[in-house]
Structure 1
Amino acid sequence: PGKGSHGKRPLSQDGHELCFAVNHLAPFLLTHLLIPILRNGSPARIVNVCSGAQQQIDFDNVMFERGYDPYKAYAQSKLALTMFTFDLAERLKYKGITANCLHPGSLLDTKMVREGGYTPRGSAESGAEVVVYVATSPELLDVTGQYFEEKRRGRAHDQAYDSEARDKLWRLSEKLTGIGERGDRGNRS
């Protein structure tokens, strides 16, 4: 899943650039809300579907208020989700919850890809197989903080490994989702 966009800079109901809201802020908020349930049911796995299309986050223009480019917005939002996953894995270490992310394959045969005018390169089923593998494979039971390209460990964009950038993104995400205001910081401990 994910949200691509074309043309004019679309905004969420909260006024955030839509790709960033759907591809990063929504999973960030949902994950925070689910952490207590996941802790009670551990071992548990968090698997985020990212993308091989990743572009460095410009923290001075995260919402693309200047120079909106739909591809860059998508790629930045998917890197944000990858960075969140890596940071989450560190914060949840030793709590019975793993967090990994994956790139299921490029241009899978979905309605979004076809309507976007792209030629599909893989099947939706092959992409789903990757998600199921990372979510259920016994050999990945204790693996956390990894980025998978299809069914192999891969390497994300360099910024995903920058702990200062990840912390900056985490704080921004807390602010934009209101997590910090509610005192809901359950996965910091």
Structure 2
Amino acid sequence: MAKPKVSSDWMCGCAGCHMSLLDMDERLAQVIELVDLRSTPITDLKEPDESGVDVGVLEGGINNTANEEVAHYFRKRCKILVALGDCAVFGGVPAMRNFVGEEAALQRAYVETESTDSEGKIPDDPELARMTPVRAIHEVVPVDYHVPGCPPDADVIFHVLSELAQGRKPDLKGDLLHWH
């Protein structure tokens, strides 16, 4: 039987969830024995196979049109979609930007910062992604599993990936939902 294909990507967040995935240490080798790891931020492949993958894992919220595109093609190409971490599940810390709005955030970041010179201006190019309010992934596309945590513990990620790789529904309760 072929190993299930797994792809992942990060969007609006800090990449801490993928760092936590790497914190599985030697158990990462166990996961690799169970799955065919395809596109990820840590591999050369950057998009899920056009023919599809079994499991897609998205970290980070959605804060611009490029993130929306990633969420849509992941949903389209993945049989199971996992939202990994608080940013993906709830919007997380990046969603605090929603309280001030996109224009105020851009003004502060590109014009008002102490390190910006007197020529500071907000980038404006049609090739750049357009900012949107920060949203959780399920607010843009359907999600099959939500794995909270900032970041989720390596034990939780190992549990979710190994259960899905073996065709089982991961059950997140008890010690798998503790906070450090």
TM class, shorter-length: 0.3 to 0.5
Tell me the TM-score normalised to structure 2 length: 0.33
More helix by share: 1
More strand by share: 2
Tell me the TM-score normalised to structure 1 length: 0.32
